[in-house]
Amino acid sequence: MKGVIINTFENFLNDTFGVETWDNVLDEAKCEDVFVGTKTYDDKVFFKLFMTSIEMKGLVADEALKLFGRYALPVLMKYGGDLVSHYENSIDVLLELDSIIHVEVKKLMDEARPPKFIIEKIDDKKLHIHYISDRNLPSFVEGLLEGLAYYYNEKVDIKSQKQEDGTYIFNADYSE
């Protein structure tokens, strides 16, 4: 997991629950790491911090991941800078997510392992988004998709289906 995700999670917790939250989570998780945005960390570190935080706050994991996804999207868009600044809507971003954006992310961030997305454009307002990742964070992805629609002042109806192979398909219906 890239440090930028962990740093964003820290900000999410502090902005949502108060500035002492991150330090309390680190103490409870017995984690003394300092996280650098461009550095890669074992996924277990993020999951331990996440699980500790939801236990401390009495949250449901899927709902917390979805909220974190919504929070993280504008941060990731800002982090993407010139890579994403020319897009005018969610569909344009998603159609180039794997072929351009994630390719560039891997060039810029050593050891990055972004999830794989296969996007099927059904019509001008509908996409099927195939999510493939060993991290298995579909609720986070759903939050990112909702955050992306909000970023572009769009409405989106998202339905997800888990496939037999463990991957997910999100049916996203955008309206203006």
pLDDT digits (tens, 9 = 90+) for 9-66: 999 999 999 999 999 999 999 998 889 988 889 999 999 999 999 999 999 999 999 9
pLDDT computed for residue 111 by the predictor = 75
> For tokens 């994991």, what's the residue?
61
Look over the chain and give the mean of its residue pLDDT values, rounded to a whole number: 90
DSSP state of 169: E
Measured between alpha carbons, how far is 73 from 78 in angstroms, rounded to an integer?
9
Find out whether 70 and 150 touch, Cβ atoms under 8 Å.
yes
